[in-house]
Amino acid sequence: MSIVEKFVTMDYGPAPEDPREAVAWLDKHNRRFGHFINGAWHPPLVAKYFDTTDPSTGEKLSDIAQGSALDIDAAVKSARTALPHWQSLTPHTRARYLYALARQIQKHSRRLAVLETLDNGKPIRESRDIDIPLVARHFYHHAGWAQLLPQEFPGHEACGVVGQIIPWNFPLLMLAWKIAPALATGNTVVLKPAEFTPLTALAFAEICQEIDLPAGVVNIVTGDGHTGEALVAHPDIDKIAFTGSTEVGRAIRKATASSHQKLSLELGGKSPFIIFEDADLDSAVEGLVDGIWFNQGQVCCAGSRLLMQESIADQLIAKICDRMNTLRVGPPLDKSIDIGAIIARVQLDRIQRLVDQGVAEGATCWQPSIPMPSRGLYFPPTLLSNVHPTSIVAQQEIFGPVLAAMTFRTPSEAVELANNTAYGLAACVWSESINVSLHVASQIKAGVVWVNCTNLFDASTGFGGYRESGYGREGGREGLLEYLEPTWFKHAPQLHPRPLAIDQPPQQIPESVADSANTPPIDRTVKLFIAGKQARPDSGYSLEVRAADGRLLGEAPLGNRKDIRNAVEAARKATAWPKSTAHTRAQVLYYIAENLSQRREEIATRLSDVVGQQQADSEVTASIERIFTYAAWADKYEGTIHNPPFRNVTLAMQEPIGTIGILCPQEAPLLGFISTVIPAIAVGNTVVGVPSEIYPLITADLYQLFESSDLPPGTVNMVTGRPSELLKTLAEHDDVDALWVFADAPTCATAKTLSIGNLKQVFTNEGRSIDWFNPAPSSDRFFLQHATQIKNIWVPYGE
């Protein structure tokens, strides 16, 4: 038989990986694990264990401790105690520990890969060639950041003790994504692995022992969702980092609302995989295999919605079916297996239920006739076509090897379909035209866009979502910021709001002003400002605004729910501003500053009635300078290009978040408004602002400035009234993408609690006092960071 004939007829034979070393490791631990706390193994304080099993066989692998609140408390105490020593080490010393972790992971890479496959069911090819090498790469990369920390992040410090909760789909990789940046920035951690897949986290704990990582820097407590809940509820945690379902992300957001814990959430997705008619279809089909069948589709960024240009749909479906016929489903330790086992019975049932529901809603289900294992938890690769965009299988995360296919005609229809989801984690765009690909990539609301490639990840490049896929990034410079806080902000004193003249009974008026107090004030009709127009409030009511000495200064409209809704609608429709160039935005901001400068005296005189002449003068002077600062930044707050170890460039683009609702600081009516609203619009957001409660009349001065400065209508909208009522509507509004609140601690907590619906990003002063007059050097970047989200667009090059 010739080589060619052999090549054509050759079939796969089994190529099993030898699991003996991993099994010996389990046996060495008597197949029973406690928690790893303060550098040593501890049995659970409440003696309870559960099984971890191999999903490909159903066989039990070992007993795992069920962590209780007592175990969590012990682990948090250990992390807290370890913190001062860990932070006292030089950056170089911490870098060496991270480097040692990377080296040790490499030395044990095969055992870790086998253990991962045993515990999770993923093909050994994936754990060996993707998961574990990326884990090592993550620790190497972050060893570098540990070394460079002081010079790259001056004026920042670690959050402190970090609680980390990870899922089961990439157990060790998610651990690395969490622990490496936390340690590099000087935090100590308590990590809870997923209940289905704790083994590699426990093997990692042993690696921490092997490299003599100081005790208490890394603590691992195993258990289920209750253990996670106890970690989130612990009062001595400074930051929570979570990856998992949107539902649990929402619960964590709620549970942490009244604390000052920093929170990052990496949640689910329903990512579009868009193929244009000019794409290299064979490459696109290979990409799709990776996009949806990698890790059995149990991937948060899985390309689970196939959007095909109508002209190629039939041809593409035929190619996909051909390829599906060659996929091999089976024992994941076999090196020639493409699709391994589903993590657990509950997941398998969930996948089947969703597929059935999709079919009931009109989808056509196709599965290849390929051999399926007779035992274990397996689901065949599945294609659902004729899927309606509103069907459950087009909207809900299935987290299984199921592709939902739809068609589109034009690029703009593709973008519309792609964005027709509450999620925004990732997207793939396949087209040979760089213009089309980048044009579409720029319009997709997702944290990662892969152009002509799929599922590329690297430690240098941030990963994370838009909208209900969560916020915060993991990887790269942007990921480090999640574990750092500006020192000036972290240690700012508590804010003590001043009593409101409008809520106070009129005060005793001094003799000297009694006369003027009795004369009616000049009637300044202040209105709301919506869509570039002055508007009367829906309620038809006004609020009295009084000077510090009790004089009536004027009346401000009492805005209500409806006014906020109108303002949000105007902000969303104001597309001219987000589309304008950074240069144009800078010019408009300079023009606002110029007009403020010309009107400085009259504005300061009016403001002085409430805050006194000295503060009023300082507010105007500082506001002009602040606007100049953000005008300067408008065309300089740029993205960057990452160089991951592949043949591609990754464009990290700074994008505006969308529409931001801002409850402006009370204490500095003009300067507080300028210091918060201007950075938001400098980078292309539109705003609904609620001006200071002590002097809402500033609204009239502000809209006159905006009207005379070429700011497009709807870019900034202002609604005066009772902030607590307006905050509720802003927080609950699904078309508000982010909420900024600068107020006392209870108001900040309310904002976080009320806004969990669409998981909008919330940025508050955490009830702290911000010195608007003497900002810290890093504060403008701090505001700009919160006004933007990074989209990483991966663009390969070469043949």
Which of the stretches 225-233, 305-313, 387-395, 690-698 binds ligand NAI when contact is defined by CB under 6 A?
Answer: 225-233
Task: Outline where 325-463 has alpha helix (H).
Answer: 345-360, 392-395, 411-418, 434-443
Q: Is 601 a catalytic residue?
A: no
Q: Is 365 a catalytic residue?
A: no
- Enumerate the β-bridge partners of residue 542: 557
Q: d(Cα 736, Cα 753) in Å, to the nearest integer?
A: 15
By beta-carbon proximity to ligand NAI, the closer residue of 248 and 451 is 248
Residue nearest to ligand NAI (CB): 228
Interacting residue with ligand NAI among 22, 300, 556, 749 (CB under 6 A): 300
How far apart are CB 543 and ligand NAI at their closest, in Å? 42
What is the identity of the amino acid at 458?
Answer: D
How far apart are CB 679 and ligand NAI at their closest, in Å? 30
How far apart are CB 269 and ligand NAI at their closest, in Å? 7
Interacting residue with ligand NAI among 95, 149, 248, 535 (CB under 6 A): 248
Closest C-alpha to 264, from 461, 486, 471: 471
DSSP code at position 67: -
Per CB under 6 A, contacts with ligand NAI among 328-357 are 347, 350
How far apart are CB 750 and ligand NAI at their closest, in Å? 22
* 575, HSE (Cβ side, Cα atoms, 13 Å): 2
Angle between helices 779-787 and 613-634 (to 10 degrees): 60
Query: What DSSP string describes 378-390?
Result: ----EEEES--TT
The phi and psi torsions of 285 (rounded to 5 degrees) equal -65, -40
Which residue in the list 208, 300, 301, 748 is annotated as catalytic?
A: 300
Per CB under 6 A, contacts with ligand NAI among 190-219 are 192, 194-195
Instruction: Decide: is 228 part of the binding site for ligand NAI (CB under 6 A).
Output: yes
Q: How far from 371 is each of 71, 75, 642, CA to CA, in Å? A: 45, 47, 42
Instruction: Tally Cβ neighbours within 10 Å of residue 539.
Output: 14
Interacting residue with ligand NAI among 73, 116, 131, 229 (CB under 6 A): 229
Instruction: Tally Cβ neighbours within 10 Å of residue 217.
Output: 25
Quick one: residue 612, left, alpha or beta (phi over 0 = left, psi -120 to 50 = alpha)? left
What is the identity of the amino acid at 14?
Answer: P
Count of chain residues binding ligand NAI (CB under 6 A):
26
Q: d(Cα 630, Cα 649) in Å, to the nearest integer?
A: 29
Per CB under 6 A, contacts with ligand NAI among 474-503 are none
How far apart are CB 459 and ligand NAI at their closest, in Å? 18
By beta-carbon proximity to ligand NAI, the closer residue of 347 and 595 is 347
Record the tokens describing residue 666, joined without a space: 């009370």
How far apart are CB 324 and ligand NAI at their closest, in Å? 22
Per CB under 6 A, contacts with ligand NAI among 122-181 are 165-169
**496 class by beta-carbon count within 10 Å (0-12 exposed, 13-18 middle, 19+ buried):** exposed
Q: d(Cα 186, Cα 756) in Å, to the nearest integer?
A: 30
Instruction: Decide: is 464 part of the binding site for ligand NAI (CB under 6 A).
Output: no
How far apart are CB 508 and ligand NAI at their closest, in Å? 54
Angle between helices 600-611 and 613-634 (to 10 degrees): 130
Instruction: Decide: is 595 part of the binding site for ligand NAI (CB under 6 A).
Output: no
SS3 641: strand
Instruction: Decide: is 121 part of the binding site for ligand NAI (CB under 6 A).
Output: no
Which residue in the list 266, 474, 482, 655 is annotated as catalytic?
A: 266
Interacting residue with ligand NAI among 219, 243, 692, 764 (CB under 6 A): 243
Footprint of ligand NAI on this chain (CB under 6 A)? Answer: 165-169, 192, 194-195, 224-225, 228-229, 232, 243-245, 248, 251-252, 267-268, 300, 347, 350, 397, 399
Active site residues: 266, 300
